[in-house]
Structure 1
């Protein structure tokens, strides 16, 4: 049986001598860490009469009664299902009538629209066949064809084919460079081509310098176009400035798959070439799937209310709906309800356990709790305070039940020995962070990342849902994909949350570790972390393409998408600040659009 214990190998940074600037920076951080600011500290007295901290998280935005009152006219509606089936047949005909040789660009644009509208999962076989034809016609070693291709066609084809596992070489873009090796200035005149070239550049793998240059060049071009406000709406693209702003905010590769249609359906309505059947299918499918998500959310809400942690642990994050958003972001397709419900449980448990270790528990209590998890023994909690007994038993019962349900569904799979080990590793890692905090220790960036790729909890989540996805990924490929997703989420989380976490008292994050290690300013440190994210995406791109070539795509793609989407959710959630811990109005609007408002 495959296991996915994640050793989280380091990035391999050297540990340079600390500089005076770094020491001054970290001294300021220390003052924040050990501050008794009343806005971030609270005294709670229990039977042991100890001083405890609080992060002062706001309460949940969504009540149990509200969530249970949710209805959806599209859920299990025979009328809408029949209508959906009719529209799907229309689109299948549309795809089958595409002439790859005569109108390759329109064919690729249709595939792109289907993906961004969130309905491509209905047409996997049709899309696979179309892209195979495009590859055979233009990209399968036909070097003489590359230079003849229109820039827009070449960039869009490169992105879509790489996304679907084809190893298209970066050298197809060599013709856009001049004799000096620089990208030709006139390339920037084709705004649609530049936008697709920008999106294509993020599908780079390790050591692809041409795509690095393209990414920098296209970012400059697109930003300049927006600043000059001289964008001419071209043909099919009736809102280029909106498309460019959206792309610069996050490239398509980095966006969670379920959230893109929320935005793109509205943008598609403005298109001069909008196809009414495609739009109708996208809106109807969104509403039907939203109805399924609501039922999953109602189930999750009942589970959370029954667990009772939101009533017992006022110091911790009550983020059931936010956790469910992450589950939808990880796997939105209608047939994966069990996957979403389990991910919601796992993230909800992790939120509270993380807050116990980071905020509320004493170091002695945390050591005892960690020991109980290692032993997976309810007898080990007798000496713990009552709040920890409740935490351990709720956690223990939930994980055991999930393991039981997996065994019930497939009698050949006993996952409990594996997940027990993963949870012990997780608690060991967050205990180490607590020890760093209490001792005032600042790790090197390499040391921090090795540990925090475990504490970010991606290995724990994916280990618990691995067998539900029926994945056949094993060994190094499995380890590397999980590690890359962990790294992306960790670095994105640090960029968005480190300020708030330091203010309430927490260990230095990757930004501060790099500052301490190199003497860099915070601005330079943040730039370094952003570069690490790009480097990690290159490794992930390489691993997913390799996995697609080695393993059965139909068996591995659910797990790979789920793993990748957890990293994407980190970039989507934390791109500005910690809106998971303290949701703002924009994040609330995302929740409303995703779960509570049908498309019309």
Structure 2
């Protein structure tokens, strides 16, 4: 129940829905009190000394190509490859130009699969045909190898497939999956802890789909169990993790203070008070230390999306939501009194923050992006309004109709056009227009994965409180399938969308006008969604879906150093 506004004074009370969201598990003053010894100069000096040693490892010519590839892979998984981006890119370019591997026997699998995965991850064009000999052996049932490390590498490589890579999807992946499962089920050699953990981890979710920073924290622990673990490398990874964590902690203090000063959680007690979780998303989007400003602005965008989403989803009447949508479309602060009282602060903060972002971009990049940014919010609110109308009228859309609206209502296009504007050194009007008109396929793919992962993780809670059907329920209603089959279908859609996104990443290096960093961020948004909704609604109910534990591991607790 709520008090009425002057606009609806003829009604005594309105029945409002509730999201049943719990208060934030985080205390603002506790966040501000976080203090890390790794921000001190002596720690940075120690880190830089170790960094120079690792750089020499990259500079020294390795006895084998495999050693060099495995070093690059370890640097990436340990979260320190950003220190050596140019060097790593040059090494991989040499591999791509000079070496053509053909996997003629089982001993070649590790190097071939690892080279394939690393090259494709970095946007190089490599054909799946390099696995033809292996594929023939798998089909002929003559493949023999008990090297689980190579099989895991082969399995992980298969997730860099595009739509045309049928052999990777239909032959290699099922075979490798079966072999890894057999290994896990039958393996009792506890001396090989590293490979056992890597196998179980791969079965849970492929590396290519995982949130990078969280994977770094996991792999640092796993790498220490590796028999040929490099002490310099692990020491460098640990101290670098802790130093980077201090940057993230400063970001978090900033956005927590901003959120508190908005008073939105007090004025709108029905919305999700999730500023820490909104920041956590941005660490998944772009984690390197030089991008703190981007993380702070993107957290503000995320917080506004969350707030407005809750107004449309659970609180506003249809009439109120139409007024708010019209206000965002007109972008006229002088008409603030047209809105119900509870909506006014939210719109004013949205108006001020987006204009402030636009002003900064105009000052530093000499281009007015505000028309594009405000259109992205109008598009978002219009899709929210469509879903509100569906719910109020009891309408059940088919999967295709649902997704045409839902890939925009999940907010990824809004987030990514803001990201493009603040990330890019030189902003292209051509790209801005394509983003604004929803013509960039990598954005649609990222948004689709985010939407489907969100639906899998949140649909039960949202349906319980009263909400429009999600993709799972739309498929069940449309086809008569069971929930189990519908969820399996959505998982398959996610996999197919990743194939499309992999293709976009591969073509971006040579033919796309989009910055490579933007394409990677779009993919990272998809990865972050599969992290946030892996165990349920990690955004709405962070204590139940491991989000609290993950935030503690990444943003609060440093890694102990020996």
| Interval containing the TM-score (normalised by the shorter chain) | over 0.9
- Pairwise mapping of residues 199-238 of structure 1 onto structure 2 (< 5 A)? 199-212=156-169, 213-230=171-188, 238=193
**Residue correspondence of structure 1 range 162-561 to structure 2 within 5 A:** 162-178=120-136, 182=139, 184=141, 186-187=143-144, 189-212=146-169, 213-230=171-188, 238-410=193-365, 412-470=366-424, 475=431, 479-551=440-512, 556-561=515-520
1:73-112 mapped onto 2 (5 Å cutoff): 73-75=37-39, 77-99=40-62, 102-112=63-73
Q: Find the partner of 1:562 among 490, 513, 521.
A: 521
Gaps (5+ residues) in structure 1? Answer: 1-42
Match in the other structure for 1:587: 547
Q: 2:471, 2:45 → 1: CA distance?
A: 52
Pairwise CA distance, 1:534: 0.8
Deviation at 1:188, TM superposition (A): 5.7
More helix by percentage: 2
User: Structure 2: which 5+ residue stretches go unaligned?
Assistant: none
What is the CA–CA distance in structure 2 between the aligned matches of 1:579 and 1:225, rounded to whole Å? 31
- Cα deviation code 1:517-565 (max 9, x no counterpart): 111111111111111111111111111110111258xx81221222111
150, 154, 165: which one pairs with 2:112? 154
Mapped to 1, the partners of 2:131 and 2:305 lie a distance apart of: 45
Q: Could you say if the C-alpha distance between residues 548 and 231 of structure 1 is closer, same or farther in structure 2, counting changes exceeding 3 Å?
A: farther
1:336 partner SS: helix
* TM-score, normalised by the number of residues in structure 2: 0.93
Greater displacement, 222-231 / 459-468: 222-231
CA contact (8 A) 2:262 2:349 kept: yes
Work out the CA distance in 2 between the residues paired with 1:104 and 1:490. 40
The CA distance in 1 between the partners of 2:187 and 2:336, in whole Å, is: 64
Per-residue Cα deviation, 1:441-470 (whole angstroms, up to 9, x for no partner): 111111111101111101111111212211
- In structure 1, how many angstroms separate the alpha carbons of the residues matched to 2:547 and 2:380? 28
Q: Please provide the CA RMSD for this pair.
A: 1.9
CA contact (8 A) 1:445 1:513 kept: yes
Task: Give the Å deviation of 1:183.
Answer: 6.2
Shift of 1:383: 3.2
- 1:71 aligns to what? 35
> 20, 25, 28: which one pairs with 1:61?
25
Select the structure with the greater relative contact order (CA < 8 A; seq sep ≥ 6): 1
What whole-Å deviation, never above 9, does each CA across 1:272-318 have from its counterpart, x for those lacking one? 21111111111111111110111111110111011111111111100
Within 2, Cα distance between the matches of 1:441 and 1:367? 18
Offset from partner CA, 1:175-206 (integer Å, 9 cap, x none): 12347x72636446321111001100000011
Q: Please point out which of 519, 532, 554 is paired with 1:573.
A: 532
Q: Report how far residue 232 of structure 1 moved.
A: 7.3
